[in-house]
Amino acid sequence: MKTVFEYTRGMLPVTTGYCPGCTHGIAHRILMEVLIERGTLGETIGVAPIGCSILSHNYLNVDMCESAHGRGPAVAAGIRRALPDKTIFTYQGDGDLASIGAGEIVHAAHRGEKFTTIFVNNAIYGMTGGQMAPTTLIGQKSTTGVDGRKKEVSGMPLRMAELLATIDGAVYVERVALDTPAHVRGAKAAMHRAFEIQEKRLGFSFVEVLSTCPTNWGLPPTAALKWLADNMIPYFPLGILRTPGEVK
């Protein structure tokens, strides 16, 4: 009998507290698979955000810390100065990274910080109960925008990958999605490239991961996958926005 797929030892043997169908579980798993395959799991420090995935340190089998809301990239920059030889990542949601932490992520990219950011964009605040995020789509309903986001009031959804790709220090920027098995496999490949960039100390690497929030979107998990494909991908196009050319 040949093994095709077994759950990675990079994930701790516990049940996550995430809602049924929440794609955090997929993002966590492929991130840990990447660190195992690169042989760096034991030399990695992770930074958890504020949001649902603050609990990621209960699930990811690496040394981790929590960070105040949005400050993950600053914390990671500090860790990098103390530990020049380790692998470091931040794992951040869209409220954390694109709203309250917009300053920290921009300047981490600006300094070309040698760590990797996994940006889980599900277009809504999950933990606090479905409030509007900077990435909430026009017309998308939220608990702070019950009639749907309006451009005149809240502006257009913020495209963080595109924004960061304008900064020289951000040498690797890619947007991926978790709505199909092919896209999940692609997301994992993107994380491999991002960590390769980090290992070569070429600069800041960033992977935006389009994800679902079935609970706060008010959709069954399978319908949420379709909603992501039909609504998020057209506005947040997938692909590599920036690469130093040394990484295949």
Partner 1 sequence: MSEKQLMKGNEAFAEAAIRGGCRLYFGYPITPQNEIPEYMSRELDKVGGAFVQAESELAAVNMAYGGALTGKNVFLSSSSPGIALMQEGFSFMASAEIPMVILNVMRGGPGVGGIQPGQADYRQATRGGGNGDYHIPVYGPASIQETVNIIYDAVTLADRYRNPVIILADGMLGQMMEPIILPEARETVTEEEIRIQKPWALLGHQDKKERTVVKSLRLQPDDLENHNNKMHEKYIEMMEELPQYESYRLEDAEVVFVSFGSMSRIVREAMDHLAEQGIKAGMIRPISLWPFPNKAFDEISPKTKMVISAELSIGQMMDDVKCAVCGRFPVELLYRTGGMVPTPLEVVEKTKALLEVTK
Partner 2 sequence: MAKKGIVKFDIDKCKGCELCVVVCPKHILKIHEHDVNIMGYHPISVSDEEQCIGCANCAVMCPDGVISVYTE
In the complex, the residues that contact partner 1 under the rule CB under 8 A are 41-45, 47, 54, 57, 61-68, 71, 74-83, 86-87, 103-104, 106-107, 110-111
Tell whether the torsion through CA atoms of 73, 90, 195 and 245 is positive or negative: negative
The least CB distance from residue 131 to partner 2, in Å, is 23
Cβ–Cβ contacts within 10 Å for residue 4, how many? 5
The least CB distance from residue 222 to partner 2, in Å, is 5
Of partner 1, partner 2, none, which one sits near residue 6, judging by CB under 5 to 8 A according to partner kind?
partner 2
Closer CB to partner 1, residue 74 or residue 133? 74
Q: What tokens appear for 168 in the block? A: 């020289």
Of partner 2, partner 1, none, which one sits near residue 142, judging by CB under 5 to 8 A according to partner kind?
none
Of partner 1, partner 2, none, which one sits near residue 4, judging by CB under 5 to 8 A according to partner kind?
partner 2
Of partner 1, partner 2, none, which one sits near residue 26, judging by CB under 5 to 8 A according to partner kind?
partner 2
5 near partner 2, judged by CB under 8 A:
yes
- Identify the residue among 103, 143, 180, 244 touching partner 2 (CB under 8 A): 180
The CA-based angle 128-145-127, given to 5 degrees, is 10
The least CB distance from residue 13 to partner 1, in Å, is 13
Q: How far apart are CA 95 and CA 80, in angstroms?
A: 24
- Sites for partner 2 among residues 23-42 (CB under 8 A): 23-26, 29
How many CA atoms does the CB half-sphere of 143 hold within 13 Å?
Answer: 12
Of partner 1, partner 2, none, which one sits near residue 248, judging by CB under 5 to 8 A according to partner kind?
none
Please say whether the beta carbons of 170 and 202 come within 8 A. Answer: no
Closer CB to partner 1, residue 108 or residue 209? 108
Closer CB to partner 1, residue 71 or residue 159? 71
Please say whether the beta carbons of 30 and 184 come within 8 A. Answer: yes
Q: How far apart are CA 180 and CA 232, in angstroms?
A: 14
Closer CB to partner 2, residue 146 or residue 182? 182
Short-list 111, 91, 103, CA closest to 24: 91
Cβ–Cβ contacts within 10 Å for residue 184, how many? 19
Q: What tokens appear for 6 in the block? A: 């077994």
Q: For strand 170-177 and strand 239-242, is the pairing parallel, antiparallel, or unpaired? A: antiparallel
Short-list 47, 165, 176, 175, CA closest to 110: 165
The least CB distance from residue 182 to partner 2, in Å, is 9
Q: How far apart are CA 231 and CA 68, in angstroms?
A: 31
- Identify the residue among 62, 133, 184, 197 touching partner 2 (CB under 8 A): 184
Closer CB to partner 2, residue 158 or residue 225? 225
The least CB distance from residue 81 to partner 1, in Å, is 4
